[in-house]
Amino acid sequence: MKIINFGVLVLLPFLTIYCSGQNDEELVGQSFEAYKSAILNDKGEQAVKYVDSLTIAYYSKLLEIVKYGDSITVDALPILGKIIVLTVRAQVAKNKIISLDGKGLFVFAIKNGMISKSSVSTLTVGDVAVDSGFAKMQIVHNGKVSPLYLYFHKEQNQWKVDLTSLFPSFSPIMKKQVSESGKTENDFCIWTIESTTGIKTGPEIWKKEIDK
């Protein structure tokens, strides 16, 4: 069975360009192509400057769960969040986790292969609609228009991507993969992590890393 490529869900990096004289639709499209270049070139520190505040808040929340969430808290997460939390616990040493913040977690994910380059290499710009400080861009995959939209918000006069806008669309896809695997959701999460990282996990992965 094909391993789920959750990198495209969780963690798309973004680099925006501002060029005077161009309309917002063009700028959103250029931003998409720039974020694609950023991930292909592992430019995590640059990319994180241009994801929106909702995305950073999402990663900050997940990092709090990585640090302090017990097994009940982790188990209650949607499958995507669960995979991210458990992957970080499997890959990152405790002393490194302590030093991270939401932005740092985002950068770490880019640098450590939690976002695969192949996940964005076939994506191109579709139709863009702009309404004041909000924009949505239809995703084209392998030359075919997909039903998925990526949202952008204009913050500090720059178009910034809202990665959380993709999560609702991918939730049923992930649930279908779990069902087809014949595994429980938690077993599927562990299988995905071990298959992707090559790291054998144990029950300790469900325990909080740090005591408050």
Domain membership of residue 212 (yes or no) is no
User: How many domains does one find in the chain?
Assistant: 1
Which pair of tokens denotes residue 16?
A: 């925006």
Domain membership of residue 130 (yes or no) is yes
Domain membership of residue 109 (yes or no) is yes
Contact call for residues 24 and 152 (beta carbons, < 8 A): no
- pLDDT block averages, 10 residues each, the chain of length 212: 48 41 85 83 83 94 95 93 92 88 89 72 90 94 91 93 86 89 94 90 87 59
Domain membership of residue 112 (yes or no) is yes
Domain membership of residue 50 (yes or no) is yes
- The length of the chain is 212
- Determine which helix (DSSP H) or strand (DSSP E) holds 154, and give its type and residue range: strand 144-155
Domain membership of residue 16 (yes or no) is yes
Domain span including residue 20:
7-206
pLDDT of residue 211: 65
Domain membership of residue 2 (yes or no) is no
pLDDT of residue 13: 43
pLDDT of residue 112: 72
Contact call for residues 52 and 165 (beta carbons, < 8 A): no
18, 54, 127, 144 from 25: Cα distances, Å: 12, 21, 9, 20
- By CB atoms closer than 10 A (0-12, 13-18, 19+), residue 159 is buried
pLDDT of residue 24: 92
Within 13 Å, how many C-alpha atoms sit on residue 47's CB side?
Answer: 30
pLDDT of residue 52: 92
What are the φ and ψ backbone dihedral angles of 188, each rounded to 5 degrees?
Answer: -65, -40
Domain membership of residue 132 (yes or no) is yes
Please give the model's pTM, rounded to 2 decimal places.
Answer: 0.82
Q: Which residues pair with 125 in a beta bridge?
A: 139
pLDDT of residue 14: 39
